[in-house]
Chains A and B, each alone.
Chain A
Amino acid sequence: MARCITATTFLVCSLFAGFSGGCASRVPTDEIRAAILSGEVDDLEKRLEETHEEYSEMVTALNLARVRQMDGRWADSARAFDEALAILEEYESRALVNIRALASGAGTFLLSRGAESYFGAGYERSLLHTFNALNYLMLGDIPGAAAEIRRMEQRQAFWLEESQARIEKILENKEKVYDSPEELPQGYSMREILSDEAVRGLVNNYQDAFSYALGAVLLRLAGDLQAAGVNMRRAMTLDDKAGRFFEQAWPAAAGGASLKRRDVPPLPGKRPDAVSPAGKRTRKRPDTQEVTIIGFTGLAPSLGVENVRIWVPVVGHILIDLPAYTQRAVPGSTLLASGPARKQIALHPLLRTDLLAYRTLWDSMRAEAGFAVSRAVSRAGIAAGAYLVAKSNSATRDYAEIIGSLTMLFLDLTAQSMSSSVRNWETLPNTGYLAGTRVPRGAEVTIASGGSEQRIILPEEAQGIIILATEMSAANLKVYHVTY
């Protein structure tokens, strides 16, 4: 029997080594954050590429795309976004009842949260297109950027349809939701954050004013003023700060209609779509130039798994694994922008990925808690079953407790190693800003953050400039621009 115990122990350790070895090569959050904050992302990029080649996961493709984008490699970033989109579209084209979903669901219900494959939360799927639009913008491909914005709009419509069935169930009281975070388990670290008014006060968990406001800017450049107007009004509905951005970027003439009823102004000096008769006198070039500033600071929170002790009737105290943002958002330094004579240009924070992330978690909390309890109970049940089987056999009766404990240990270790695959798009910035103004032709614009500062002199012949500033740390500010 000693040989049996030794063999069992060896088997358990081998299996654990196998599982953990296979799951441990994803780049840890600490390394990702350290690389980004230091501004040295070359090694990080190589590691993400290796991970993506090994796993072909959407989350790695998204992180890789964002890291390349921070480094100014627009075309490479767009390619990684396309790969993430291809994975998502393949998932969306699967049969209604498909074997992979059944297997993943069974694994999530019985074994580990990590059995669920990642295909992005609603806000992440939408931001995939928003950030890819920036790649096309910086490459000078305005129609391409506009196409990505339209995809963002479509993605939101699809997510609403996907969530519609669940929303209806909740409204008909067929699905339970938590009324307040006080109902969450006591030891759960997310209780306080999820009770924040800023989180609960969001209109929903997938729409953000930044994407729509940026959409209005890009669609206007592409000449689609009607669609730009729709985006402008959506942005203002989601967030009052968007209204302040549009007042700043496109100020109305004195006595003009209120912002919500106003049309998006065409580009100054730009001919309307219809061809004008030859020889007709045209307007002179304006003395000012348009400046639009897009700014990003900080890093989104990182999703992991947290073990929480709860009490379940009949069973007693058990340990459940709940998803949690175990590493909170990095807020980042303050970003500042100024025009000629150091006149400040106000930056409006229209994107908060941490709030979207927390709200997404809150909306799914009830279901997550239910699955977590079922996983804990099923693991305990399997271990109890192993114990009873060993007990019923005369050869193993004396070792039944050890076998039961080893089974429980094996299942817990397996679940834990699979939990390392619970990730999110953690390289998203925490905050996104927009600003818009007009400056005298050929003026200088300064972007500053912490101890870093960069100045851009506007080219005289351009109609306008769009500046993309990413604050990676207090000492690391990356600024790019494109003119039109």
Chain B
Amino acid sequence: MTLKHPAAALVALALFAMQLTACGGPRTGRVSGDGEVVYEDPQAEETVTTHWGSTDLQTTAESLTQSLLASRWIKDASAQPKIRLREVRNFTDEHIDTKGITDKIRIMLLRSGLVRFLADDANLDAVFAERDLTETATRRGANKLLADTDYIITGTVRSIRKRTKTVGDVYYQVSLELTDPQSGEIVWADEKEIRKLTTKPTIGW
């Protein structure tokens, strides 16, 4: 059989290509294994346990960032303030990766366009320690480093955990501060509080 008409030849070629694709692999762009794995909304409320979770991280970072952006030191600044973000210190009994909180805050602040971030790998403690060792040599360098900074953001996470035979309650308090390194004055502070409750069933396996 020959294909005399060019259109027919094209159609045949297209059909042949489709058949090859059908044999070549999945057409839906998904490959799954034997288990029950599904993608979920990363921003959905997570209530798997009372431990620190994704919802706590997201709501805390978003809430505190909104508050900081509304403060007059950021909103009404004549020029974009230069900020260093220090660590949020963990005073709880959980292994909370506080860098997740600071990363999210940094991303949101940068997206706002209202602030400028300075590299925070020059940890202030290291700067001061270096100054302790060779005061005359590094003083000018270290002072210049700090003089370039308008504000420093620090924070803490604390928790209170209580438990009875049937009820478990945990309270988280995340606080953030904006400090002027030139004067040492804390110009802004805010906190986010979270409480989670879990109850045991009376009868079960």
Question: In the complex they form, do A and B come into direct contact, defined as C-beta atoms under 8 angstroms apart?
Answer: yes
B36 within 8 A of A: no
Q: Nearest CB to that of B98 among chain A residues?
A: A143
Q: Which residues of chain B are within 8 angstroms of A364 by Cβ–Cβ distance?
A: none
B102 within 8 A of A: no
Q: How far is the CB of A215 from chain B (nearest CB, A)?
A: 12
Stretch of B5-13, B110-118, B158-166 on the interface side: B158-166
Interface of A is mostly: loop
Tell me which of A158, A161, A223, A275 contacts B184 (CB under 8 A): A275
Q: How far is the CB of B20 from chain A (nearest CB, A)?
A: 45
Residue of A100, A222, A271 most packed against chain B (CB within 10 A): A271
A223 touches B204 (CB 8 A): no
Q: How far is the CB of A279 from chain B (nearest CB, A)?
A: 5
B60 within 8 A of A: no
Stretch of B37-45, B64-72, B129-137 on the interface side: B129-137
Q: Nearest CB to that of A89 among chain B residues?
A: B49
Stretch of A66-74, A175-183, A235-243, A280-288 on the interface side: A280-288
A451 within 8 A of B: no
B146 within 8 A of A: yes
Flag B89-103 by CB within 8 Å of A: 1 or 0 each: 111111110100000
Tell me the bound Cα distance from A95 to B202 in angstroms: 5
B95 touches A147 (CB 8 A): yes
Q: Which residues of chain A are within 8 angstroms of B96 by Cβ–Cβ distance?
A: 147
Flag A97-116 by CB within 8 Å of B: 1 or 0 each: 11110000000000000000
Interface positions of B from 147 to 199, Cβ below 8 Å from A: 147, 152, 154, 161, 163-166, 179, 181-184, 186, 198
Q: How far is the CB of B101 from chain A (nearest CB, A)?
A: 13
Flag A120-149 by CB within 8 Å of B: 1 or 0 each: 000000000000000000000001101100
A99 touches B205 (CB 8 A): yes
A153 within 8 A of B: yes
Tell me the bound Cα distance from A99 to B166 in angstroms: 17
Flag B66-94 by CB within 8 Å of A: 1 or 0 each: 00000000000000000000000111111
B203 within 8 A of A: yes
B14 within 8 A of A: no
B132 touches A277 (CB 8 A): no
Q: Which residues of chain A are within 8 angstroms of B93 by Cβ–Cβ distance?
A: 147, 150-151, 153-154
Tell me the bound Cα distance from A161 to B124 in angstroms: 43
Q: Nearest CB to that of B90 among chain A residues?
A: A143
B132 touches A275 (CB 8 A): no
A277 touches B200 (CB 8 A): no
Tell me which of B91, B128, B205 contacts A282 (CB under 8 A): B128
A97 touches B202 (CB 8 A): yes
B203 touches A275 (CB 8 A): no
Q: Which residues of chain B are within 8 angstroms of A395 by Cβ–Cβ distance?
A: none
Q: Which residues of chain B are within 8 angstroms of A269 by Cβ–Cβ distance?
A: 129, 132
B201 touches A95 (CB 8 A): yes
B128 touches A271 (CB 8 A): yes
Tell me the bound Cα distance from A97 to B89 in angstroms: 40
Residue of B93, B125, B205 most packed against chain A (CB within 10 A): B93
B125 touches A275 (CB 8 A): no
Interchain residue pairs with CB less than 8 A apart (23): A93-B198, A94-B205, A95-B203, A96-B201, A97-B202, A98-B205, A99-B204, A143-B90, A147-B92, A147-B93, A147-B95, A153-B93, A154-B93, A270-B125, A275-B152, A275-B154, A276-B128, A276-B184, A277-B182, A277-B184, A278-B147, A282-B128, A285-B129
Interface residues of chain A, those whose CB is within 8 Å of chain B, are 93-100, 143-144, 146-147, 150-151, 153-154, 158, 161, 222-224, 227, 269-271, 274-279, 281-285
